[in-house]
């Protein structure tokens, strides 16, 4: 009882203090925030401003912003067939990647919510690809599709297919990159979808059982609409991820064949660090930033609504 | 449910799991085979041994790459735990001027892709003399808005009674942070630490452009290095190195699974 009284007293005391403390609290808060602010200023805000600045300049041989050219870098990239090809290829890749990841994720989540003993083991296995780094996974996928030792090539040969090297074909290379990327993203998507599946109240399924709905119909007409906020969240997350994809290209196709997989992030890297054309690369970076910022804004906006929904 | 139906379901799950993990399973299997059997397409060879692993450890800098990755990802994880905790504490418990504006500034950084910042960041790190150096690999990543938000969210879950009790005990801010806030949020802290370590163990683009020698090259870029050298034809050994690189993260994921399941859920519904 006495402790309670004390607590109440200190509560009101401290509440009284809070009002007077607001003004003198600026300093300690500054020290708590300063380290993070310093890093973010130096390595996020400053470089972003510099990228915008550089995008208005032509670059000289030494990599310095030498001559102000206004919006010319932007006009140039949007007239450059290679950049337009990169942008179109990126869009195709990103949409395919996000859709296939989500569809497969839903299938896996449905399988992993069957009422069976030891289902946890299968949940662990399905999430397993989450632990593979892009670089190691790329080597594994390169091995699958390598024309001389890849098991897919051997299989195609055995089936009498003459074109066994998918990676020299633009469509084939796109398919391999999409599959490899989906595989890498699937573990995370599965875990998110699994918890969404588990949050659907079981009564819905019980009623549907009585109505004689098939499992497939239940998933399509009950689960999917119920988890639509999660599906949308994942879709946007995968879109953002897709636009930033880099390692798979660098290790599996190198942007080829004939620039068919020279997607945006890879093109920026090449223009900057292979061709040392910082002005062009900066303009391309800003295009990427606008896309990502827009997608992230949609995600934040949506998440806010989803909190109310849940 | 009949036994046949149950059996069919287990069979289906097993087939899907094997198909899904096939690239890893094949990689493990190939890493045990002699390269000449792989080159001949003789995947059912019975000449299995650990020779490829032995060869990888002896003839390639894979151990050095692993150490570099452990140091890099470890330092970043520690750095983020400290800096994000401090900032999250300020946003959760303190009142100060421009709080809203600063919070918004942190939010904005999540909308900016790192890929668009690499040129100026490369120049900054170069100017500091941090190229090909642990400093350049780690310091730019010592904080993240994502971490600040995640930990702030965890701190806000602390009951007000507990906060008041801390005040009653006369704890200083740092004592409160260390003795109450951090232990109370340890599940989220562990999830965040695992996530950060995994993310930066897997990092590729930044170390690709900022490391030039094996002394600092982390394992992901090391894989590219091994693959582009003449060892490339030695597929058995290349697969062994890929498996060596995969193991730490797979183990970490297995250990951290229950944390991920619990807290990714929170992330999925709360952002």
Q: Mean per-residue pLDDT for A252-268? A: 90
pLDDT above 90 as % of chain A: 39
Quote the minimal CA–CA distance from A20 to chain B in Å. 11
Q: Which residues of A touch B245 (CB under 8 A)?
A: 133, 135-136
pLDDT, tens digit (0-9, with 9 covering 90-100), for B181-228 = 899 888 889 889 988 998 899 899 999 999 999 999 999 999 888 877
Please indicate if any CB of chain B lies within 8 Å of the CB of A108.
yes
Please indicate if any CB of chain A lies within 8 Å of the CB of B257.
yes
- What was the pLDDT predicted at A7? 38
Residues B165, B40 within the same domain:
no
Which member of A10, A116, A289 has the closest CB to residue B168? A10
Would you say residue B264 has pLDDT above 70?
no
Interface test with A, best of B241, B268, B270 (most A CBs within 10 A): B268
- What was the pLDDT predicted at B230? 58
- What was the pLDDT predicted at B107? 87
**Token pair of B173 as six digits:** 């801010």
**Token pair of A36 as six digits:** 């993070």
Please indicate if any CB of chain B lies within 8 Å of the CB of A268.
yes
- What was the pLDDT predicted at B267? 46
Which position has the higher pLDDT, B29 or B2? B29
- Confidence at A38, pLDDT banded by 50, 70, 90: very high
Q: Which of A125-134, A288-297, B137-146 has the lowest mean pLDDT?
A: A125-134
Contact A131 B86 (CB under 8 A): no
Contact B254 A154 (CB under 8 A): no
Quote the minimal CA–CA distance from A49 to chain B in Å. 9
Residue A161 lies in a domain: yes
Contact B242 A140 (CB under 8 A): yes
> Which residues are within 8 A (CB) of A179 and not within 5 positions of it... i.e. 6 or more apart?
A141
Split into its structural domains, chain B has a count of 2
For residue B83, what is the nearest residue in chain A, using CA coordinates? A36
Contact A54 B41 (CB under 8 A): no
pLDDT, tens digit (0-9, with 9 covering 90-100), for A189-224 = 998 899 888 888 888 888 888 888 888 888 888 888
Burial class of residue A1 in the structure, from the number of CB atoms within 10 Å of its CB (0-12 exposed, 13-18 middle, 19+ buried): exposed
Residues B203, B111 within the same domain:
yes
pLDDT above 70 as % of chain A: 88
Q: Fill in the DSSP letter of residue A129.
A: G
Contact A289 B107 (CB under 8 A): no
Other beta carbons within 10 Å of B62: 22
| Separation of alpha carbons B123 and A2, rounded Å | 63
The SS3 assignment for A276 reads coil
Report the candidate in A286, A288, A290 with the shortest Cα–Cα distance to residue A53.
Answer: A286
- What was the pLDDT predicted at A115? 84
CB B184 within 8 A of CB B158: yes
Q: Which of A23-27, A108-112, B236-240 has the lowest mean pLDDT?
A: A23-27
Residues B117, B187 within the same domain:
yes
Contact A132 B201 (CB under 8 A): no
- What was the pLDDT predicted at A148? 75
Interface test with A, best of B20, B109, B198, B264 (most A CBs within 10 A): B20
Residues B83, B17 within the same domain:
no
Would you say residue A289 has pLDDT above 90?
yes
pTM of the model: 0.86
Residues B13, B91 within the same domain:
no
Quote the minimal CA–CA distance from B41 to chain A in Å. 6
- What was the pLDDT predicted at A2? 36
Q: Which domain range does residue B142 map to?
A: 61-234+242-270
Q: Mean per-residue pLDDT for A8-13? A: 43
A-contacting residues in B 62-91 (Cβ below 8 Å) = 82-84, 86-87, 89-90
- What was the pLDDT predicted at A306? 46
φ, ψ (nearest 5 deg) of residue B131: -65, 145
Would you say residue A53 has pLDDT above 60?
yes
Residue A36 lies in a domain: no
Quote the minimal CA–CA distance from B100 to chain A in Å. 13
Please indicate if any CB of chain B lies within 8 Å of the CB of A191.
yes
Split into its structural domains, chain A has a count of 1
Residue A38 lies in a domain: no
Chain mean pLDDT for chain B: 87
Which member of A39, A143, A285 has the closest CB to residue B116? A285
| Separation of alpha carbons A55 and A69, rounded Å | 9
Q: Which residues of A touch B271 (CB under 8 A)?
A: 233, 299-300, 303-304, 306-307
ipTM attached to this prediction: 0.86
| Angle value at C-alpha B153, between B150 and B157, nearest 5 degrees | 140
Residues B37, B79 within the same domain:
no
Residue A222 lies in a domain: yes
CATH assignment of the domain containing B252 = 1.10.3720.10
CB pairs under 8 A between A and B: 287
| Separation of alpha carbons B110 and A44, rounded Å | 10
Residue A43 lies in a domain: no
Residue A18 lies in a domain: no
For residue B198, what is the nearest residue in chain A, using CA coordinates? A131
pLDDT above 70 as % of chain B: 94
Task: Find the helix or strand (DSSP H, E) in which A125 lies.
Answer: helix A119-127
Q: Mean per-residue pLDDT for A51-71? A: 83
Task: Find the helix or strand (DSSP H, E) in which A108 lies.
Answer: helix A81-111
CATH assignment of the domain containing A289 = 1.10.3720.10
Q: Which of A10-14, A76-80, B54-58 has the lowest mean pLDDT?
A: A10-14
- Confidence at B265, pLDDT banded by 50, 70, 90: low
Residue A127 lies in a domain: yes
Which member of A116, A293, A310 has the closest CB to residue B112? A293
Q: Which domain range does residue A211 map to?
A: 72-309
- Confidence at A300, pLDDT banded by 50, 70, 90: confident
Chain mean pLDDT for chain A: 84
Contact B83 A129 (CB under 8 A): no
Residue A1 lies in a domain: no
Would you say residue B122 has pLDDT above 70?
yes
């Amino acid at each position: 009882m006495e402790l309670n009284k004390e607590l109440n007293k200190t509560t009101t005391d401290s509440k009284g203090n809070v009002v007077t403390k607001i003004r003198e609290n600026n300093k300690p808060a500054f020290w708590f925030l300063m380290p993070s602010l310093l890093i973010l200023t130096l390595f996020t805000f400053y470089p972003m401003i510099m990228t915008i600045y550089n995008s208005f300049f032509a670059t000289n041989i030494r990599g310095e912003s030498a001559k102000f050219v206004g919006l010319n870098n932007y006009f140039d990239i949007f007239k450059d067939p290679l950049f337009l090809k990169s942008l179109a290829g990126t869009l195709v890749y990103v949409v395919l990647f996000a859709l296939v990841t989500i569809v497969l994720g839903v299938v896996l989540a449905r399988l992993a919510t069957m009422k069976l003993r030891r289902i946890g083991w299968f949940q662990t296995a399905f999430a397993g690809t989450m632990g593979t780094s892009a670089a190691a996974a790329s080597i594994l996928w390169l091995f699958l599709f390598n024309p001389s030792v890849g098991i897919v090539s051997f299989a195609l040969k055995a089936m009498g297919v003459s074109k066994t090297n998918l990676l020299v074909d633009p469509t084939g290379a796109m398919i391999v990159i999409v599959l490899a990327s989906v595989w890498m993203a699937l573990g995370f998507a599965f875990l998110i979808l699994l918890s969404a599946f588990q949050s659907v109240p079981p009564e819905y399924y019980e009623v549907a059982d009585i109505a004689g709905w098939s499992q497939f119909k239940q998933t399509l007409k009950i689960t999917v609409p119920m988890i639509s906020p999660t599906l949308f969240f994942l879709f946007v997350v995968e879109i953002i991820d897709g636009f930033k994809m880099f390692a798979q290209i660098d290790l599996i196709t190198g942007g080829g064949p004939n620039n068919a997989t020279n997607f945006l992030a890879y093109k920026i890297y090449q223009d900057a660090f292979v061709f040392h054309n910082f002005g062009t690369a900066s303009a391309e970076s800003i295009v990427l930033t606008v896309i990502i910022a827009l997608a992230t804004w949609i995600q934040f906006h949506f998440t806010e609504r989803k909190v109310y929904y849940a | 449910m009949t036994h046949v139906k149950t059996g069919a379901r287990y069979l289906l799950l097993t087939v899907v799991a094997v198909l899904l993990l096939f690239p890893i399973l094949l990689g493990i299997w190939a890493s045990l085979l002699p390269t000449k059997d792989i080159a001949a397409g003789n995947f059912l060879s019975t000449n299995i041994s650990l020779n490829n692993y032995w060869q990888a450890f002896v003839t390639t800098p894979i151990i050095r790459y692993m150490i570099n990755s452990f140091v890099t990802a470890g330092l970043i994880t520690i750095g983020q735990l400290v800096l994000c905790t401090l900032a999250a504490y300020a946003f959760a418990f303190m009142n100060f001027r421009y709080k809203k504006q600063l919070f918004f500034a942190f939010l904005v950084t999540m909308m900016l892709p790192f890929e668009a910042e690499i040129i100026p960041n490369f120049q900054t790190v170069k100017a500091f003399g941090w190229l090909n150096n642990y400093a350049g690999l780690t310091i730019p990543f010592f904080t993240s808005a994502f971490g600040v938000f995640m930990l702030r969210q965890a701190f806000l879950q602390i009951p007000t009674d507990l906060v008041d009790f801390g005040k009653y005990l006369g704890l200083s801010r740092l004592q409160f942070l260390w003795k109450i806030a951090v232990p109370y949020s340890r599940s989220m802290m562990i999830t965040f630490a695992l996530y950060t370590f995994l993310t930066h163990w897997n990092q590729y683009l930044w170390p690709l452009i900022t490391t030039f020698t094996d002394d600092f090259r982390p394992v992901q870029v090391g894989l590219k290095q091994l693959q582009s050298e003449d060892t490339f034809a030695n597929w058995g050994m290349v697969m062994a190195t890929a498996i060596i690189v995969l193991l730490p993260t797979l183990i970490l994921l297995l250990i951290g699974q229950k944390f991920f399941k619990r807290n990714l859920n929170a992330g999925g519904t709360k952002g």
